[in-house]
A = this chain, B = another copy of it.
C-alpha cells in the first residue's frame, strides 16, 4: 500500500505548476486588471499564443478572472466575448463567393474552416487549463439562463454543445457502481445532485447504496474527475412496485440480492446542468441492465417506478375546458374530491378517485399531445423513446407533497424488455406509437365508454 496517495500531485496540480510558471514569465499583470476588458484582451492574446505553457497560463488566468465576477458580470462578459469572437463575416463572405464559383469540396472545406466562430478555438484552449472542462461546464450553466434574450449567447451556447458533444462522446464515458466503499468526494455529489427523490443526508444515502438489494450506477468522465454526469438508482425486488414510499422506507428489511427477480430504476438524475443536450441516460440504463443481468442471472424483469410530472397540469387544463371530450360529467364530479387534501387516506374517496384517474392517466399517455404534437410527459418521452413500454399506472404511488402536486400521487412503471426495446423504440420514434400493456389500453378505452355511458353524452347538447 502506498503511504500517502493524497500527497501526490494530480495531473491538474502539475499542470497548474506549469501554468503558474508560464504565467510568471509571460506577462506581469494578469491580476492587474481583472475587469471584463482586461479578460477580453487576455482572450485575444490566448488565441494568438503559440507556446503551450503560456497558453495554459493565460487560460487559467481568464478562467480565474471570470470566476471572480458575479453572475450578471459573467453573462455580460460572455455576451461581449460571443460577439467579438464570432465568425469573421467579411472573410466568410469572400470564401462563400469563391465557393459559389468553384462548387468543389476544397472550397467547401475552406468554408467550413472560415465559418467556425473564433469562440470555438477559444473554448478549446480554455479546456487545456487544469480544471478547464469543469469550468466550461459551469460557464455554460451561466449562459443557459440568459440565451432567450441574447442571440449572441444563443449562438455561443451552440458552440458549447458542439464541443461538449465531441468531448463527452459516449465512447469516453465510464460506468461505475457507487456504493459505501466509494470515496466521500463522489458520495457528497450524489447527495447534492439527486433530483427525483431528494437524499436527506449521509444516513439516507447509506440506505440507498449500502443494503444488498440497492444499487447506484453513475457515468463518469475522466476530465471531470469525481463529478458524476448522470446516475441511476436501482432497487432489487421480487415484484414490480406500485409506490415509492415502501422502497425508500428507513425501516424496511433488505432482501438478498440473489433472491431478487426485478430491478427497479426508481430515480435517474442528470448531475451536470451545463451538459444539457448531451444525452447519456439512454445508454446508462441499457448498460446497467446488462451489468445487472451478468451479476444476477435470476433477474428477469427490468422496470422503472417513475413520476408523471405533467399529469396534474394537463388535467387542470382539461377540467377548465368545458368542451373536453376527455372528462365526462360524472368523472368531473368525482374529480372534485381531489380538493380534499387528505383523500388518499379516506377509503371511499380513494376508491372513487382511483377509478376516475386511471382512465384519464391512460388517455394522457396514449392520446393527449402537446401543441407541437408530442407526448406531453417528459419522463414518458424519455423512456418510450428509449424503447421501454408503459406497463402499469399506479394511482397511489407517491404521496409526497411533490407527488400530489404534479400528478395527484400517480406513478407509472415503464418496462424494459430487451427483446422489444428496438421494436418499441422504432414504433415510438418512427410512427409516434406509444407502446403500452393491454391493461393501460383498456383503461384508455374506458374513457370512450364513459362518454358512451353518460346520459349527458348522447347528442350531448350542453357540455
| Chain A contacts to B: CB under 8 angstroms | 1-11, 13-15, 17-18, 21-22, 25-26, 50-54, 86-87, 89, 92-93, 96-97, 99-100, 103-106, 108-109, 111-112, 115-117, 124, 127-130, 132-133, 151-152, 155, 158, 163, 165-167, 169-177, 179-185, 187, 201-202, 206, 217, 220, 222-223, 226, 282-283, 286-287, 290-291, 294-295, 387, 418-419, 421-423, 425-426, 429
Contact = CB atoms under 8 A, between A and B. Distances in A.
Nearest to A130: B171
A17 B287 CA distance: 9
Contact of A3 (B8, B166, B167): B8
A406 to B, nearest CB: 28
A8 B10 contact: no
A286 B18 contact: yes
A108 B99 contact: no
A5 B182 CA distance: 10
B18 A8 contact: no
Contact of A4 (B158, B177, B206, B222): B177
Nearest to A129: B171
A169 B294 CA distance: 34
B51 A179 contact: no
Contacts of A26: 422
13 contacts: A1-B222, A3-B11, A3-B176, A4-B175, A6-B177, A53-B422, A89-B103, A106-B155, A108-B117, A128-B169, A180-B185, A183-B183, A183-B184
A51 B422 contact: yes
A89 B108 contact: yes
A451 to B, nearest CB: 37
A363 B286 CA distance: 59
Contact of A127 (B108, B171, B184): B171
A92 B115 contact: no
Given A115-B115, A129-B171, A291 B3 contact: yes
Contacts of A130: 171
A212 to B, nearest CB: 11
A387 to B, nearest CB: 7
A100 B100 CA distance: 10
Q: Which of A4, A6, A169, A422 has the most CB of B within 10 A?
A: A4
A3 B179 CA distance: 13
A170 B128 contact: yes
A291 B14 contact: yes
A291 B22 CA distance: 15
Given A25-B423, A86-B108, A181-B184, 13 more contacts: A3-B11, A3-B13, A7-B295, A21-B290, A52-B170, A53-B286, A87-B109, A87-B112, A112-B112, A115-B115, A133-B172, A166-B167, A184-B184
Contacts of A2: 5, 8, 10
A420 to B, nearest CB: 9
A53 B175 contact: no
A229 B348 CA distance: 60
A223 B183 contact: no
A111 B111 contact: yes
Nearest to A191: B202
Contacts of A129: 171
A109 B158 contact: yes
Contacts of A184: 180-184, 187, 202, 206
A106 B21 CA distance: 41
Contact of A176 (B1, B103, B387): B1
Contact of A18 (B25, B112, B163, B287): B287
A282 B4 contact: no
A51 B426 contact: yes
